[in-house]
Chain A
Amino acid sequence: MKLWLAKQRYLIDFTLASLARRKTRNLGLLAVYTVLVFMLSSVTLYTHALRQEAARVLTASPEVIVQRMVAGRHDLIPPGYIEKVGRIRGVQKIEGRLWGYYYDAVTKANYTFMVPAENAPVAGEIVVGPALERSRGLAKNNGISFRSYSGKLHSFIVADVLPQASELISADLVLMSEASFRAFFDYPVGHYTDIALSVANPQEVRNVALKLAAALPDARPILRDEVLRTYASIYDWREGIVLALLSAAILAFGILAWEKASGLSAEEKREIGILKAIGWETGDVIKMKFWEGLLISLTAFLAGFVAAYVHVFHFAAALFEPVLKGWAVLYPRFQLTPHIDGLQVATLFFFTVVPYAAAVLVPIWKAAITDPDSVMRS
């Protein structure tokens, strides 16, 4: 066992020395490899974090949202409408929601003004999202004014700032009292933006939605699962677009890696011949070259993945953000909650490390099983 361990150590020593001897070539390959892993990892980490973020937010959202459609457009819920929805069998809890968008010319950003179902701020006070805190330099107890669409200036005191978790939704949020909201947007009393409802039996959500559509033809029920699926397909599509754009880079790397891994230089063939001639077994030569390939690909994978993690979760994926995030109106920046999926890491590892390490083996095996007598003639 001791001899075996010493032998493995010698093999690794020689492998490291071998890598150092071809420093320029290996560093070049390592750099290209790392950049590729970085790009792929950035895309997958970012889209996965967005999916997770959406799923986390939607878990707490109502099972069904009902909007009223007039002339194909979303319109206000009039008084008495909520009672009609509440009479449908299976509906457990129902409430009208008040929310709307506000464009802030100062920061050139769109905010979402909303009246929360519980713990709403008192009139004249607001609770703001972290993006507003950053972009408007707000802190607790600061005052801020917004000019409403009717041209009137409304002043508020910041009662609190929302936590950074789930910033995807909370980034641009401004929570206020019902009175403040109705005053700001000139909303008539008894009118709502939409209706949130929960269903007694979760298995019956789809049936309740069908009954709703039948009873109120101008109602558009939106199921939580449908929203989640839509988010997922949007991110999948965006991820696919980016990966398609990166495919040229992936292909170029593939060719480079294959060329480097599968083609042995005359010098490498000579070295294999020497090692075999002086008593190295075929298995030792293969192991040594395998270690060499594995070290390069593993180092590139780790470096690329760590760089991608930093890029996505500390620099908000600055390189891919415009393509992947996709909201033209979501100007306030938001930070994603770091999340790594084991399966995703394993998939990335499998598609970046394993092919290279395997590609190294074929030519080495071919060279290593030939008689070492060629070395006598070189």
Chain B
Amino acid sequence: MIEVTGIRKAFNQGRDNEYWALDGIDLHIEAKKVTALRGPSGSGKTTLLTIVGCLARPTEGRVHLLGEDISGLPERFLTEIRRKRFGFIFQQFNLIKGLTALDNIILPAYPTGRPRHELLARAEELLAGLKLGHRRDAKVEWLSGGEQQRVAICRALINDPEVVIADEPTANLDTHLAGEFMGILENLADQDRTILLTSHDPLVVESSVVHRVVDMRDGKLIVHG
């Protein structure tokens, strides 16, 4: 599904504070499987996630999606790939305050120009699936952390992506809500979506839902198998 080879990523390149966040990553992410990146803070998990999700470009190396090299594509094409193929669940959820849950969910679908009634029906279906239908018109800042995450999940799924990328999905949830998230993750896996997430939460990485755990440290992979 996704193949990254020789990925290196530098920040502040050429300056005194140059820093290599990723230093030679080769990784194959299997389709329809749940892959978890595990490692301490600063190990490069999130940076790798941004590169795989076309949110940032590698300084060196290649990214292949379904066999196509996407590393050198112009921003316009990367945006299209992000919109069509990826759904993102951010650690801080990154919902837009002042908008309702429903409005937040349909935001990624605006650029597609799909009819509004179709988008609303899909968003309501997703909300109902996550038992949040009654909160559809609530502004997101009024929602609890767990509810906000479920809205973020719905938003990630509105364009029906093949790949779901989640960054530390349980970092801001208590044990009960983290358990609920794992249930949702299992459902997503059952829907044959490819899932790539970062976490150092044992509840996630030791779960049977996760097919493969990749350890990272200092911008390199430790375990690859």
Contact = CB atoms under 8 A, between A and B. Distances in A.
Contact of A14 (B84, B91, B110): B110
A278 B55 contact: no
Nearest to B9: A373
Contact size range, A: 20 to 34
Contacts of B115: 6
A271 interface: yes
A376 interface: yes
A274 B94 contact: yes
A284 B82 contact: no
A117 interface: no
Interface stretch (B27-35, B97-105, B206-214): B97-105
Most buried by A among B49, B75, B79: B79
Given A279-B79, A279-B108, A6 B114 contact: yes
A4 interface: yes
B56 interface: yes
B111 A284 contact: yes
B59 interface: no
B96 A271 contact: yes
B49 A278 contact: no
Given A21-B99, A375-B90, A378-B94, A275 B107 contact: yes
Contacts of A280: 79, 107-108, 110-111
A93 to B, nearest CB: 73
A3 interface: yes
A21 B98 contact: yes
Nearest to A281: B79
A372 interface: yes
A188 B84 CA distance: 98
A278 B92 CA distance: 14
A17 interface: yes
Contacts of A270: 94
A7 interface: yes
A112 B114 CA distance: 72
The secondary-structure label for the interface of chain A is: helix
Nearest to B92: A378
Interface in A233-277: 267, 270-271, 273-277
A17 to B, nearest CB: 6
Contacts of A273: 94
Contacts of B57: 371
B113 A373 contact: no
B90 A11 contact: no
B82 A277 contact: yes
Contacts of A372: 55-56
A373 B55 contact: yes
Contacts of A373: 47, 50, 55-56
Nearest to A288: B110
Interface string A356-378: 00000000000001011101111
Interface in B88-133: 88, 90-92, 94, 96-99, 103, 107-108, 110-116
Nearest to A22: B98
A351 interface: no
A125 B80 CA distance: 85
B83 A279 contact: yes
Interface in B46-86: 46-47, 49-50, 55-57, 75-76, 79-80, 82-84
A369 B76 CA distance: 11
Contact of A4 (B92, B113, B116): B113
Most buried by B among A2, A270, A373: A373
A282 B79 CA distance: 9
A270 B96 CA distance: 9
Contact of A279 (B47, B56, B82, B114): B82
A372 B82 CA distance: 11
A107 B111 CA distance: 69
A376 B167 contact: yes
Nearest to B97: A21
B82 A377 contact: no
A11 B112 contact: no
A315 interface: no
B155 interface: yes
Given A278-B83, A280-B79, A371 B110 contact: no
A10 interface: yes
Interface of B: 46-47, 49-50, 55-57, 75-76, 79-80, 82-84, 88, 90-92, 94, 96-99, 103, 107-108, 110-116, 155, 159, 167
The 7 closest A-B pairs by CB, nearest first: A279-B83, A3-B113, A21-B98, A373-B56, A7-B113, A373-B50, A10-B110
8 contacts: A267-B97, A279-B79, A280-B111, A281-B111, A282-B79, A371-B57, A375-B90, A376-B91
Given A276-B79, A279-B80, A377-B46, 15 more contacts: A2-B113, A6-B114, A10-B110, A10-B111, A21-B98, A270-B94, A278-B82, A278-B88, A280-B110, A280-B111, A284-B110, A373-B47, A376-B49, A376-B90, A378-B92
